Amino acid sequence: MLVLCGQLDPLPRVTPSLLRELWPMLSMRFIAQLGKTVCLQHVHAAFYQIARGLLLPSTLLLSICLLPEQRFSVFSIAAACVTTAGFMLGVGNEAVSQTSPLGIFLGIVSSLLTAFETIVIKRTTSKSGHSLVQLVRVTAIAALPVLLVLLLFNKEIYVMKQLEHRAAMRLACLILLGSTASCVLSLATLLQIKVTSPTTHMISSSARGVLQSALAVLLLKQERMSPSRVASLAVILLGSVGYTLAREMEQRREVAAAAMTDGSTGMTDAAMTGSIGMTDGSGGCAAALSA
């Protein structure tokens, strides 16, 4: 994928100045990805999106604090509260069954890290002069040595050496497939955050999370979707849809207000032009009479 991205857009020279410019995004993307992985290790795949159900509220709160240009109505905040209620519903029923408190805690931490990551990406893509393909490539290259160190530290590389040929080939295919999907998803994520907003990105993440939970139940035999999990996902999705509708209404009001402002400005300019023309005309008549 790095070679393909290089054909699409040449990679800028990786200089210390480039790393200083992009280090907030590089570090936060790696930390957020690490948080997602650790969280998934401690919760079931079907419960993963519920454990990270605070994505939208966390992103909205951080956007208010760190992005002053972002404005949110009461309806948007109420929709985020509905999403929070869905998270509490799922956690409250799950705490007495099969998910450890550590997994729930890691889900909350992962939500905060992912929310902060989207804010950093929004700032970086707004100010950086590099293309999205270049940003994806630089991120992948910067993460490569860190991942190699983790492979050695966790002794996973020695485990891979002990695999049989068939198992090793299956693992290689899974790694290739996952890396390709991760590259495409990273490019789509950067593009969406750049052209929209962090909170809008979290809306699509919520919808994607419901699909991931359904696929986990279908493809992984040990995963189960209990009624409480279904109800929790439904409430989280309902809050996300409510937030989308609220933001759509806000944008329509902003467009209408801008149109009215432009119309009134045009009428004012026309009136001023007409008054100037009348003044010039009366001045010409007065000059003719005096002559």
Read off the pLDDT of residues 90-124 as tens digits, 9 standing for 90 and up: 888 765 556 778 888 888 898 899 888 888 888 88
Model confidence at 288, pLDDT cuts 50, 70, 90, reads very low
Percentage of residues of the chain with pLDDT beyond 90 = 0
Structural domain span for residue 21: 2-290
The SS3 call for residue 72 is coil
Mean pLDDT of 266-282: 55
Is the separation of the CB atoms in 64 and 117 below 8 Å? no
pLDDT of residue 196: 72
Q: Averaged over 264-289, what is the pLDDT?
A: 53
Q: What is the mean pLDDT of the chain?
A: 76
pLDDT tens column, 207-232: 777 777 777 777 777 777 778 888 88
3-class DSSP state for residue 43? coil
* Interatomic CA distance for residues 160 and 156, integer angstroms: 6
- Kindly state the average pLDDT of the residues 162-170: 81
What is the rounded average pLDDT of the residues 75-94?
Answer: 85
**pTM of the shown model:** 0.71
Higher-confidence residue of 132 and 283: namely 132
Band of residue 289 on the pLDDT scale cut at 50, 70, 90? very low
Cβ atoms 243, 79 nearer than 8 A: yes
Q: What pLDDT does residue 287 have?
A: 44
Rounded Cα distance between 237 and 245, Å, is: 12
Q: Please tell me the total count of domains within the chain.
A: 1
- Determine the pLDDT at residue 280: 53
CA distance 157 to 149: 10
- Give the chain's length: 291
Is the predicted pLDDT of residue 204 greater than 50, yes or no? yes
Average pLDDT over residues 64-86: 83
